[in-house]
Amino acid sequence: MTEQDKHSQAQGGEDDVVQHFQGLSNENAQLVDNLREAYSLTRVRRARALAQARQRIQYELQASDTRRIVEVDSINALASTSKKIKALIPDIKKPNRLGWLFNTCVAAALLIVMVGSMILVYGYRQTSTSVGSKSNNPTVTVAAPTQWPKGEDTYWANYRFHQLTGRWIPWRGSPNQWVTGAQTHGWQVSAEPHIPAILVLMPGVQGAGGVGHVAVVEKIDSNGQSPSVYTSNYGWYTNGGGKGILSYANFTAGNGAYFIWLD
């Protein structure tokens, strides 16, 4: 059916309505007129509602297309960024477990060798001199519980006795106080020579000074009436030694000479 036919049909319908409308009473004609007006308003409202719905649907479709475009752009941007990051990060090879184990073993072996060398050097380092000779001050690195003035006879006696026995002197004081210190700490005190032992000379005995002298017994010579001991010393000036100078001297057992040690 063409638009012209539709229009003619609608026009015919209107003419029929007008013809019937003219034959009605005023009251009925008013009623019909009201119905026609209400029907006309309903069509207008329906058309308006349909137009608004169609406009809303178009708007929603456009908004959906916009969101989809934004999401696609975001995904593309994220993928591009991920590729750039991967390009910047260098390839990391998996560690060679066998190589790592080998390097660890080598490092451990080197550490053991270094520690062992240090222990051997410290344990076997000793000053050796011939009989009647003297030497300059040997390097002595001691971290004894009791500190003694470096270069003095007490310093050497403490160091040398520890070198021979592994024991430090636990007391303090001048040489003439060492006998009392040894007795107080339970050490042996005797007038008879002993090895290893520290010889304590009281003041004025066999050339000792005003505070006495201490030396370390290196050898005992029992020939003769009074046993003789060969000692190593610091601070013994009568045979060319002195402060911080290692020298050797012979002393005899007798009055004012004591030997102290700890079994």
Residue 100 and residue 209 share a domain: no
The yes-or-no verdict on residue 100 having pLDDT over 70 is yes
Q: Which band of pLDDT confidence, cut at 50, 70 and 90, is reported for residue 189?
A: very high
Between 159 and 36, the higher pLDDT residue: 159
Residue 251 pLDDT = 95
Whole-angstrom distance, CA of residue 227 vs CA of residue 221: 6
- Higher model confidence: residue 220 or residue 1? 220
> What is the structure's pLDDT at 134?
39
Q: In this structure, are strands 246-252 and 228-233 parallel, antiparallel, or unpaired?
A: antiparallel
Same domain, 139 and 230: yes
pLDDT higher than 60, residue 240: yes
Share of the chain above pLDDT 70, in %: 65
pLDDT-derived band at 243, boundaries 50, 70, 90:
very high
The pLDDT value given to residue 138: 44
pLDDT at 130 over 50: no
* CA–CA distance, 90 with 68 (Å, rounded to integer): 35
Tokens 């593309």 sit at which residue?
76
Looking at the fold, whether 201 and 255 belong to one and the same domain comes out as yes
If asked whether residues 144 and 229 sit together in one domain, one would say yes
CA-to-CA separations, 15 to 6, 11, 24, 42, 88, in angstroms, rounded: 14, 6, 15, 21, 84
Its domain, for residue 74, covers 3-87
Find the mean pLDDT for residues 192-218.
96
Q: Do residue 48 and residue 102 come from a single domain?
A: no
143 in the same domain as 238: yes
Q: Give the list of residues 6+ apart from residue 167 with CB closer than 8 angstroms, or none.
A: 161, 262
Q: Report how far residue 162's alpha carbon sits from residue 134's, in angstroms, rounded to the nearest whole number.
A: 21
Q: pTM to 2 decimals?
A: 0.47
Mean pLDDT across the chain: 77
pLDDT of residue 249: 94
pLDDT at residue 46 above 50? yes
pLDDT exceeds cutoff 60 at 185: yes
Number of domains the chain is built from: 3
Strand partners, 219: 230
Reply yes or no on whether the pLDDT at 137 is more than 80.
Answer: no
- Is 138 in the same domain as 256? yes
The residue among 196, 211, 214, 195 whose CA lies nearest residue 257 is 214
C-alpha span between 137 and 246 (Å, rounded): 6
- Whether the ω angle into residue 138 lies within 30 degrees of 0, i.e. cis, is no
Residues 139, 240, single domain; the answer is yes
Q: How sure is the predictor about 90, in pLDDT bands with cuts at 50, 70 and 90? A: low
Q: In this predicted structure, what is the pLDDT of residue 98?
A: 78
Spatial separation of the C-alpha atoms in residues 186 and 148, rounded to whole Å: 21
* CA distance linking residue 211 with residue 234, whole number of Å: 14
Rounded-to-integer distance, Cα 249 and Cα 155, Å: 17
194 shares a domain with 143: yes
The reported pLDDT for the residue numbered 31 is 72
> What is the pLDDT at residue 88?
64
